[in-house]
Amino acid sequence: MYLIFIHMLMIIMITTLIMIILLLISKKSITDMEKLTPFECGFNPMANKRLPFSIHFFLIAVIFLIFDIEIIIILPMIMTMKYTMIKYWIYTSLLFITVLMLGLYHEWYNGMLKWTS
């Protein structure tokens, strides 16, 4: 019993010593003002808040979100194949994929997918 108590005391002392050493080592000695300012994508946080914004980035983000949500809708279609009649499953799948392709064609035709324009 005495040996177990000695071992437990040694473990507690060693962990406490390591924690104190790490606490002393990790202290920052010099606080730099540049390091304390927030980094926001390379923009100066003290500059003008109304920076020009490219609408093309917004359109690409919206298109990405739409197609991302549509992929989330398509994924469970494989699992529902077991529980539905195959005829209705094919009709539903083809209708959904047709709507996707028409949307993609519409965005392509209107030039929303061109990055250089």
In the chain, how long is the greatest CA-to-CA distance?
83
Token pair listed for 17: 């010593």
CB 67 within 8 A of CB 51: no
Query: How much of the chain, in percent, has pLDDT values that exceed 70?
Result: 74
At residue 67, the 3 state secondary structure works out as helix
Q: Which residue has the higher pLDDT, 6 or 113?
A: 6
pLDDT computed for residue 58 by the predictor: 80
Average of per-residue pLDDT across 29-56:
63
Return the bridge partners of 43, or none: 40
Which of 16-20, 34-38, 87-91, 105-109 shows the lowest per-residue confidence on average (mean pLDDT)? 34-38
Tell me, yes or no, if the pTM score tops 0.75.
no
Q: Amino acid letter at 45?
A: P
Query: Mean pLDDT of all residues in the chain?
Result: 80
At 59-113, the pLDDT tens digits run: 788 888 888 888 888 888 888 888 889 899 899 889 988 988 898 888 888 877 7
Number of C-beta neighbours around residue 110 at 10 A: 10
pLDDT computed for residue 13 by the predictor: 96
